[in-house]
Structures are given as C-alpha cells and as structure tokens.
Amino acid sequence: GIGYAYEYAGEVFDRMNMEERMTVCNMSIEGGARCGYCNPDQTTVDYLRGRPFAPQGDAFDKEAARWLSLASGPNAKFDDEVVYNAADIEPTVTWGINPGQSVGITEAIPEVEAFPAEERNGVVEALEFMELKAGQSMQGQKIDVAFIGSCTNGRISDLREAAALARGRKVAPGVKALVVPGSQQILAQAEAEGLDKIFTEAGFEWRAAGCSMCLAMNPDKLQGREICASSSNRNFKGRQGSPTGRTLLMSPAMVTAAAINGVVSDCRELMS
C-alpha cells in the first residue's frame, strides 16, 4: 500500500543476513512505502558488534538490549497485513518501466487485460518502449550491458554470490559487464577475498566504489537503445543515461547469468 511503514517478518526474514534484509528494505520505497524495516534481533546485534562507530564493551551490550526492546511484540496491531509464501517466489526480472512491472523467470509477461483498468495505459506504454509483447517470456532476451552494483545490491554478500557463479566462466562476447562495489569498505573486503580477480578473469570490469550505472554516474551510461541487466533498484525511462535505453532489473546472481549467457537466463541453472 501507499504511504505505509512496512514491517517484514516471518521465517524467511529470520533466516536472512543483515545485507539481505537491507536489500528488501531498500526496495520498500519502490513499493510506495514511507520506510521498511525488520525487527532487531540477534542477527542485528551480531552484525553491529565490533563495527567502526558502534559502541564498545559494556556500552555495546547496553545498547544492544535497548535495540532488542524495540521489536514489535506479539500483540502489536497493524493497519494491514499481507502474507506471502516465499517458496512461490522465483528469480524475477522486470519487463517494463517501473519495478512493479516484473515476472518470475519462468513466467510470461501478462496480457494487458490482466491488469486493472487504470494501469493498462501504462502497461501498453511500457511494452512499446521496451519493444516487448504480452505473452512473451523474458528468458532469452538479449542484453548489451550487465551491471552488478548499487546501494541495493552492491554489498559483500552480493559480490560473493555473483563471483561464485562467475568463477571459471566468461562474459558472453559483445556484452559489457561491470561490477561496482557499493562502498570503499566493501571494495576493500572484496579485494582482500580475491573477488576482483574472479570477476576480471571472467571478463567483468572491476570498478571503484560508487553509484555508477544505477543512475548513469560519470561515463557509465547506456547508449541509444541498449538493454542493461541491472542489479539496481529503478528502471524508469532514462534512469541509466540514455532516454531510449532499457533496463531489466534483477538480482546480482541473475545479472551474472545474463552476462555469461548474453541473454536473460535462470541463475539456478548455473547453481546446479
């Protein structure tokens, strides 16, 4: 819903690490929320312990107890509740010009008539801009650029996952592939683990930390009608620098699979 504060809870979020939770919360704005959060728990405490600028020693334990006390209690009341079965959610890719215009990798783009009447003009506009058709699968869609990065999906866990798929493989001919860590700290950690070498050996460009192609920072821009598989969070017209460029949002693992195959692909096939 529009204007809500989203609280994410359940078994899936309990098992997520902090960086995975950050990605989901980051996308709350794209869902129309004012903010998004997960309740603080032991995972939160363990993530913060020993970090720069965090309290130390007894002061940390005191603050950790206060953080844990902020979690919603069992009797908390909410304006609305929505329940999803995470097992039904597969790797996803956008086909349109906003993050909500997306499908699972094995699904087809819905027919225009399947959308509420007030959304149909926007759906038609998106399909025409992207040069796609209702009923079409996104699998096999050719890409020109692959971008792994952004504040949404440029953390160390994202880079580790992408590097695991890139190891021993090569970027497809004709694809420009970039990896941009989300911060200097992440860049240093990735290089300490040798992830940069894995990416460069596979044919990815290893870049300095920053925003890069998420919003067409510096020279990192799409040219003309290029199509980019991007792990960023927004796919609006012109977002990646070219007024006619096209953005397909997906996870870092999905971007890696697309870069290697040269087309939108199911990352699970590389994991098996």
What are 217-260's pLDDT values in tens digits? 888 999 999 999 999 999 999 999 999 999 999 999 999 999 99
The SS3 call for residue 254 is helix
Backbone angles phi, psi at 270, to 5 degrees: -80, -20
DSSP assignment of 95-136 equals -SSSTTSEEETTSBPPPGGGS-GGGHHHHHHHHHHHT--TT-
Q: How would you classify the pairing of strands 102-104 and 92-94? A: antiparallel
Residue among 6, 56, 64, 10 nearest 40 (CA) = 64
Residue among 20, 133, 250 nearest 263 (CA)? 250
pLDDT of residue 135: 98
Q: pLDDT under 50 in the chain at which residues?
A: none
In the prediction, which pLDDT does 106 show?
97
Max CA-CA distance within the chain? Answer: 60
Mean pLDDT score of the chain: 96
Mode of pairing for the β-strands spanning 145-148 and 92-94 = unpaired
Residue 96 φ then ψ, to 5° = -120, -145
- Give the DSSP per-residue string, 159-207: HHHHHHHHTT--PPTT-EEEE--SSHHHHHHHHHTTHHHHHHHHTPEE-
Q: What are phi and psi of 141, to 5 degrees?
A: -70, 120
3-class DSSP state of 93: strand
Helix and strand element counts for the chain (H, E): 11, 9
246 vs 238: CA distance, rounded Å: 8
Look at residue 272 in the predicted model and tell me its pLDDT: 80
Can you state the percent helix, strand and coil of the chain, rounding each to 5?
40, 15, 50
Domain architecture of the chain: domains with CATH:
5-69 (no CATH), 145-271 (3.30.499.10)
